[in-house]
Amino acid sequence: MVHGILRTLSASIRGLHQAAYLLAGLTLVSQVLALLRDRIFVHAFGAGHTLDLYYAAFRIPDLVFALIASLVSAYVLIPRLTGGSREESERLISHSSSFLLIVGGLVCLLLCAFMPEVLSVFFPQFAASSNFVFLARMLLLQPILLGLSGVLTSVTQVHRRFILFALSPVLYNAGIIIGALFLYPVFGLQGLGVGVLIGALLHLLIHVPIVSEAGLLPRLVVPSPAIMWSVVKDSVPRSFALTLGALSALLLSSFAAGTGEGGMTVFSLAGNVAMVPLALIGASYATAAFPVLAAKANGNNIEAFTETLSAAARHLIFWSVTAALLTLVLRAHLVRVILGTGAFDWDATRLTAALLGVLIIGLVAQGLVLLASRAFYAARRSWNPLVIQFFGLILSGSLALSLLHLGTTNVFVRDFMEALLRIEDIPGSSVVFVALGATLGQLFMGVLAFITLRDVAPGVARSLLRPLFEALGAGMVGATAAYGLLSLMGNIAPLTTLAAVFTQGLVAGMVGLAVAGAVLALLENREFKDLYESLKKMAGTKLPPSAINDQTHT
């Protein structure tokens, strides 16, 4: 029995849609744990000072991860591992891991020494807290652990072990939950930090058996300048792109923290909820498509590369539009079910729901940016995502700051946004302007990614117009049906219990999906047909046992 479970977990998944749906299913488990983690947090702490400190403490370590770990990440290593010999692959993995430990370790030690000064720049309202500084220092270990996991993940993905890949974040969130339930009561805020490190370690260790069996476990060596330059010279643009993304998140978090106590928390919580459909849809398709895109690009098969990219983008749009519109309608129900507990009061619930409604508008754009970035990296066009992220950072940061200033100084603008989002008289409501700036920046990046895809796959952008308009039409009809049903049920039964809120939201969401599906069927939507065929294959096909040296060719 144990052998059968292990064989299933290490099975190789070949089809693009099957891999994407499998990744989405396992990602859902991880996201459920992440939401359970957030529910545990808000039940105990509410939207207040403690969680403000917790979420703010991640921002500098996240920046380190983007700057250093991305230099040797899976997205850089996978194209080099595809089709290479075992000796070449082992040398690449060993030198990349050693580079990460040495360079990343030195950067983290330097930041650790000057952490109070760094934090005072971005979070001056928290920098006087010794617990905050200690937690931020502790979390500097996380980018090293997750960076090493990223190196090993390249082997897991090359061999299409997508189940193990998707289980990594599940274990990561499990570690954080352990910290919240068992370590925080004993050690306080530092206990939460230890839980994060436990999760990061589990994220790394799950890949060790597969990498070991493949004979690719890294050794600690002195990194070869020649080997590392061949990797870093191509990964520098991606590292800078991710650094710009992390810097954008840092700036937006700094703005949100400045709107008052709890502002950082509700902004982070709304972002976490909005991240669920992005992880399920955008990240799943981008991850499933990347090894195939890399293989086609290495083989100079432009036609197959374009076809794979187009298929992934069409299905990404198909799912993302529907999810975004239904989330917009059901945002209050989602937040009440997920976070409405304990110390998380009604004002925090309403404000988080408003932020979720603003952030979810950028879902399709975020997914396209993820997929387009993978396509550019597979085609060795690493500068394109950097340009997209650069303009996104400038626009998001400047818009968020400008809108925040406008919303706090102009009574008409503030009253209009509060009335539109139904957050009148809630303290700290100006944080919605930060979210609005972030969303406008994401939409701009999505359009830019949409246009520049022609650089690597001519004709792809045009092929996405039809599924975009069909998904928008079907999604709007489905969302309207869900909203009408919510209004009808709201007049019949009061929403005084969690069960009532959950039931009403579930029924309305199912009706909305059914109506949207019916519209797509009437339109004879191609993606809807592909979904049906893929589900039939997944239901009728057993996962095959896989040899460890399978190649990625399809």
Contact at 8 Å (CB) between 416 and 487? Answer: no
203, two tokens? 């994220």
Q: Which one-letter amino acid corresponds to residue 391?
A: F
Give per-residue pLDDT as tens, 269-281. 999 999 999 988 8
Give per-residue pLDDT as tens, 14-46. 555 566 667 667 778 888 888 999 999 999 899
Residue 211's Cβ-side half-sphere holds a number of Cα atoms within 13 Å equal to 26
Q: Where are the domains of the chain?
A: 17-540
For the four alpha carbons of 516, 520, 521 and 527, in that order, the dihedral sign comes to negative
> How high is the mean pLDDT in each 10-residue block of the chain (554 residues)?
47 57 74 89 91 95 92 79 81 94 95 96 92 96 94 83 79 92 91 95 91 89 91 84 93 95 96 91 84 82 87 89 94 93 92 97 94 87 89 95 94 94 92 97 92 84 86 93 86 68 91 92 82 65 39 34
Please count the other Cβ atoms lying within 10 Å of the Cβ belonging to residue 407: 23
Choose among 379, 292, 244: nearest CA to 13: 292
234, two tokens? 């191509």
SS3 for 457? Answer: coil
Give per-residue pLDDT as tens, 303-348. 889 888 988 898 899 889 999 999 999 999 999 999 989 899 999 9
How many residues are present in the chain?
554
Contact at 8 Å (CB) between 11 and 163? Answer: yes
SS3 for 48? Answer: coil
The span from the CA of 213 to the CA of 286, in Å, is 27
Give per-residue pLDDT as tens, 367-405. 999 999 889 888 888 788 999 999 999 999 999 999 999
**What pLDDT sits at residue 159?**
73
Cα distance from N-terminal residue to C-terminal residue, the chain: 30
Contact at 8 Å (CB) between 78 and 289? Answer: no
SS3 for 140? Answer: coil
**What pLDDT sits at residue 260?**
93
The span from the CA of 327 to the CA of 172, in Å, is 26
